[in-house]
Amino acid sequence: MATVSLKSIKKSFDSTQVLFDINLDIEDKEFIVFVGPSGCGKTTLLRIIAGLEEATNGEIEIDGIEVSDAHPIERGISMVFQSYALYPHLNVFENIAFPLRVAKLPKAEIENLVMRAAETLQLTDRLNFKPGQLSGGQRQRVAIGRSIVRQPKVFLFDEPLSNLDAALRGEMRVELAKLHKSLDATMIYVTHDQVEAMTMADRIVVLSEGKVEQFGTPMELYHRPSTKFVAGFIGHPKMNFLKVPHLSSSSKGVSVELPEIGEQLLPVETKAENSGDELEIGIRPEDLILSKTAKGLPMKVEVLERLGGSTLVYGSVSLNQNFCALLQGDALVSEGETIKLVASPSSFHVFDSNGDAMKRQEVPEVMS
């Protein structure tokens, strides 16, 4: 239904700049997730798209039309708030009908549209309830109902699942994904939870300190994080980082010295500016396996979390005190011992001193 494009959006509150030159092109019917730690500006960016906040600088286009100064209604957006923002004195029917009443639609049509939304969201038996009588998940659905009755071009969600418990969050993730398919609309969704981002998004915008760190599909972000920040933010458990001496660079990759393993060639594309005495390598916990030989990264195991199907091992490797490895459920490991870990050279990520990633030469098929 609509494309959204942001052109050099900047935003300052008084003297504090919170958004720096944001440029994004969002395709029609895409599910876009803004993700980042709290205070990164993701909600502010969403509110600017909604028209609740004015950008200090830059332009917003929806469907190719400049809407920077337009009212939310003219932009054709609707928004679901983190707190749901349901009107406590109105029942579910009236809450969903609110935008239609504002638009002064005829009674019969309002009834028709509200009933249709209520059916989609399984709220038909709750229409006479007040929000205070509903469970968290039901309130969430009412808020979504209110945003879909108007049939907007772009849906905006501001951390809609953060007030729900973990089990319900999982359910609502699936429901939202289904909703996106059935509505065929462009959706922009803000969250600080990278799991939500990975599971729902067509493309993810990773924000940090008011800047776009990376914009890409979940698998791109996972396999080819462009910065150390993205690498650390996407994926659970978090990627492990180690500072290692840089030995040499060639077209085949960089050679680094790994603790107790010695010289290791990591297949990444190098650039002239990537030279330096020290590099930072990143390795995901799930890429690590127990070494079958005596050679491997030595890890002093401090805590074990046995989840049945897998085992999470926490401890320290070299100077990194928060190293984590995801091993098999029956891995022969015990707390206090030192284990040897290895990983395929192609699974390593390499970052230069600026935190920029060197492009990995070999990544799994799922990328394409």
Partner 1 sequence: MTVISKNSKSSSKWREFLRSRTLFAWLLITPAALFMFLIVGWPLLETIRLSFTNAGLGGEQYIGWDNYEKLLNNRKYPGIVGRTFYWMFLSVLLKMIIGTIGALLLNAKIRGKAAFRVMVMPPWIVPMAIGCIGWLWLYNGHFGILAGVLMRLGIIDGPFEFLAYKSSAFYSAVVTDVWIGTPMISIFILAAMQSVPDDLYEAAYVDGASRWYRFRRITIPQIMPVIVTMSLLSAIWTFNSFEVIWILTEGGPLGATTTMIIDTYKMAIANYKFGYGATRALMVVLSLAVFSLLYLILLNKINERYKTK
Q: Which is nearer to partner 1, 71 or 292 (CB)?
A: 71
Which residue, 82 or 227, has its beta carbon nearer to partner 1?
A: 82
Closest CA to 151 of 210, 95, 99, 94: 99
128 binds partner 1 (CB under 8 A): no
Cα–Cα distance, 368 to 366 (Å, whole number): 6
Smaller CB separation from partner 1, 150 or 180? 150
Long-range contacts of 117-120 (CB under 8 A, 24+ apart): 117/145, 117/148, 117/149, 118/92, 118/93, 118/145, 120/145, 120/148, 120/179, 120/182
Number of residues that bind partner 1 (CB under 8 A): 27
Please identify, using beta-carbon distances, which residue of 76 and 315 lies nearer to partner 1.
Answer: 76
State the Cα–Cα distance between residues 307 and 166, nearest whole angstrom: 17
Q: Which of residues 13 and 87 has its CB atom nearest to partner 1 in the complex?
A: 87
What are the E-state strand segments in 39-127? 57-62, 65-66, 77-80
- Cα-Cα-Cα-Cα dihedral sign, residues 227, 229, 234, 240: positive
Angle (deg, nearest 10), helices 136-148 and 107-120: 130
Q: Which of 10, 29, 130, 153 binds partner 1 (CB under 8 A)?
A: 130
Q: Which two tokens stand for residue 45?
A: 């960016």
27, 57, 103, 322: residue in contact with partner 1 (rule CB under 8 A): 103
Distance CA 86, CA 88 (A): 6
Residue 334 CB, nearest approach to partner 1 (Å) = 51
- Residues ≥6 apart with Cβ < 8 Å to 170: none
Site string for partner 1, 57-96 (x = CB under 8 A): --------------xxx---xxx-xxx-x-xxxx------
Sole residue written with tokens 């995901």? 284
The contact pattern for partner 1, residues 37-56, with x = CB under 8 A and - = no contact, is -------------xxx----
Judged by beta carbon, residue 41 or residue 51, the one nearer partner 1 is 51
Residue closer to partner 1 (CB basis): 78 or 214? 78
Express the helix, strand and coil content of the chain in percent, nearest 5 each.
30, 35, 35
- In whole angstroms, how close is the CB of 141 to partner 1 at the nearest point? 15
Contacts of 160 (CB under 8 A, 6+ apart): 80, 81, 82, 84, 140, 143, 144, 172, 176, 189
Does residue 210 belong to the site contacting partner 1 (CB under 8 A)?
A: no
Site string (147-186) toward partner 1, x via CB under 8 A: ---x------------------------------------
According to the binding rule CB under 8 A, does residue 131 interact with partner 1? Answer: yes
SS3 266: strand
Nearest distance in Å: CB 150, partner 1: 7
Closest to partner 1 by CB, 40 or 97: 97
Q: How far is the CB of 293 from partner 1 (least distance, A)?
A: 59
Report DSSP letters for 181-203, one per residue. Answer: HHHT-EEEEEES-HHHHHHH-SE
Interaction site with partner 1 (CB under 8 A): 50-52, 71-73, 77-79, 81-83, 85, 87-90, 98-99, 102-103, 130-133, 146, 150
